[in-house]
Chain A
Amino acid sequence: MRRKLLIAIPYFWLLVLFLVPFLIVLKISLSDTAIARPPYTPTLDLSLGWAGVKDFFSQLDMENFTFLTEDALYWKAYLSSLEIALVATLATLIVGFPIAYGMAKAPSEWRPTLMMLIILPFWTSFLIRIYAWIGILSNEGYLNQILLWSGIIDEPLKIINTTMAVYIGIVYTYLPFMILPIYATLEKLDESLLEAAEDLGCSRLSAFWLVTLPLAKPGIIAGCFLVFIPAIGEFVIPSLLGGSQTLMIGKVLWEEFFSNRDWPVASAVAVILLLILVIPIILFQRNEQKNREEG
């Protein structure tokens, strides 16, 4: 009895507050916009009985999805989200790998401290970490002040409100997600393998390419997914650093809902965003499973 209750309570909670809301989104994405409260039609009217249910289903259509495929804005937003997430993931890897490598090769009494220094920003407010960059990157910001003062540039660089600023924001906030899994694989790496490679005539660099990198691959792949997946649906970074020029799907959904008050289109955008995310998520899960079986 107690066991049943133990399962039933969280199960019921998630059904009501996770699955049902998502079904509502799906339903509204198939509805039409209306000037009413709530601003969509049809609404399910159970007082009419079976006729009401039938009437309700007959009015649903794929119109919003057709609309999304016809309007270039949405295509562009989806594609540019994917592109920004991909480029930012690679940039995070390039920045994060040397740090993870440096940590794994550091004297062992240093490692807990270094680890904490990586985790600390993760606990600090996301919003504040993004905000810190506005002051640095803006036209009269600290970066431009230093560059102008030192004479490297004559005119302030335009970074804020460009895609570049979004890349910087993503690399900065998601860096711990990249570093930690790579560090975990590099730390386990058996030093004697590298010594063996060098004894057999490998140079240090080729030992790195032939031994370290392939062994670090599971960590690299996991880190890339951990950055790529949340970056696609990101809202705060493009909205604060990217300005009006940067097109990302999370921002489009937000504006569709809050500014245009078009609930059916916002819901349709959400459904497609989720469909896009399913592929990398499944790949990620497979990768994790494979690692678990091997390890």
Chain B
Amino acid sequence: MRRFTWFNATALTFGFAFLYLPMLILITYSFNESRLVTVWAGFSTKWYGVLLHDKAFLSAAWITLKVAVMSSTFAAILGTMAAYALVRGGRFRGRTLFSGMIYAPLVMPDVITGLSLLLLFIAIGMDRGVTTIVLAHTTFSMCFVSVVVSSRLATFDQSLEEAALDLGCTPFDAFRSVTLPIIAPAVISGWLLAFTLSLDDLVISSFTTGPSSTTLPIKIYSAVRLGVSPEINALSSIMILIVTVGVIAASLVSKRSIALQKADEQKALQQ
């Protein structure tokens, strides 16, 4: 069995300290009594209380959540369709352009995506608000979903689908009862990815937002430009906690499902 060597242990310790210390400091200072964030004045949870009574933050959080749920759901549907078209669509006219449009947004700087969408919304005279942010987020995150889903589609055995068709399924039934269950984990992780991308987005939202729909990142950004504040520390700590719990839970669930699958395979072999 392999053990940690002295060099590797040091590299990992320093590496993870670098990754996690900034966040730990942030969380620690969110419990600071003082308004001066760099001076420790005793333990207190008062900034969490202040945050929970801040109407502007709460409404921004609500808008952000709404946008993220809507855009990631649309993105999951459109992205799965796009992946299907790419992997199973065969040859069709404009396929190169299509795959180009799927991959380009992945590397496009946010400032360009945001600017171009804003200019479109202005050109067609669309009022900016939640709808335009949802449209913008759906567009870039559907590309991420389609990359995740198409890698799953490409690796699974197509003969399963063909068998279903041979046994009298309509193509739609075959998709629903064979393909969808197999690609479901990829669609779910694509949805989660789209959800986080939307929650996190500052630049594209800033371009496509209207006056009455401020999202949480926009709110945080404008507060942070004035310097560090204990309220933002508290908010950040809550967000870090939610993500940590979510990621750990997701990994435990996937670990369990892999274990269950292995057990099933074992059983099948024994019979």
For residues 84 through 106 of chain B, which have their beta carbon under 8 Å from a beta carbon of chain A?
84-85, 89, 92, 94, 97-98, 101-102, 104-105
Q: Which of A48-56, A58-66, A100-108, A212-220 contacts B (4 or more CB under 8 A)?
A: A100-108
From residue B197, how far is it (CB to closest CB) to chain A in Å? 10
Provide the residues of chain A in CB contact with B180, threshold 8 Å: none
Q: Does A138 touch B at the CB level, under 8 Å?
A: yes
For residues 101 through 139 of chain A, which have their beta carbon under 8 Å from a beta carbon of chain B?
101-103, 105-108, 112, 114, 116-121, 123-129, 131-136, 138
- Chain B binding surface SS class: helix
Number of residue pairs across A and B with beta carbons under 8 Å?
223
Q: Does B160 touch A at the CB level, under 8 Å?
A: no
Q: Is the CB of A7 within 8 A of B8?
A: no
Q: Is the CB of A140 within 8 A of B139?
A: no
Q: Is the CB of A19 within 8 A of B101?
A: yes
The proximity string for B residues 9-27 relative to A, scoring 1 for CB distances below 8 Å and 0 otherwise, is 1011001101110110110
Q: Which of B44-52, B54-62, B107-115, B263-271 contacts A (4 or more CB under 8 A)?
A: B107-115
The proximity string for A residues 59-95 relative to B, scoring 1 for CB distances below 8 Å and 0 otherwise, is 0000000000000000000000000000000000001
Q: Is the CB of B217 within 8 A of A102?
A: no
Q: Does B81 touch A at the CB level, under 8 Å?
A: yes
* Closest Cβ neighbor of A105 among chain B residues: B8
The proximity string for A residues 276-293 relative to B, scoring 1 for CB distances below 8 Å and 0 otherwise, is 010001000000000000
Q: Is the CB of A17 within 8 A of B107?
A: no
**22 CB-based A-B contacts, threshold 8 Å:** A21-B120, A38-B122, A98-B15, A99-B15, A101-B8, A102-B7, A103-B12, A107-B2, A108-B2, A121-B19, A123-B196, A123-B246, A132-B25, A132-B236, A136-B25, A138-B228, A230-B109, A233-B111, A235-B203, A254-B111, A270-B112, A273-B109
**A residues with CB within 8 A of B:** 2-3, 6-7, 9-11, 13-15, 17-22, 24-25, 28, 38, 95, 98-99, 101-103, 105-108, 112, 114, 116-121, 123-129, 131-136, 138, 140-142, 145, 172, 175, 229-230, 232-236, 240, 250, 253-254, 257, 263, 266-267, 270, 273-274, 277, 281
Q: A6-B85, A99-B16 are known contacts; what are 6 more A-B pairs with Cβ within 8 Å?
A: A3-B89, A99-B15, A103-B12, A106-B8, A235-B203, A270-B111
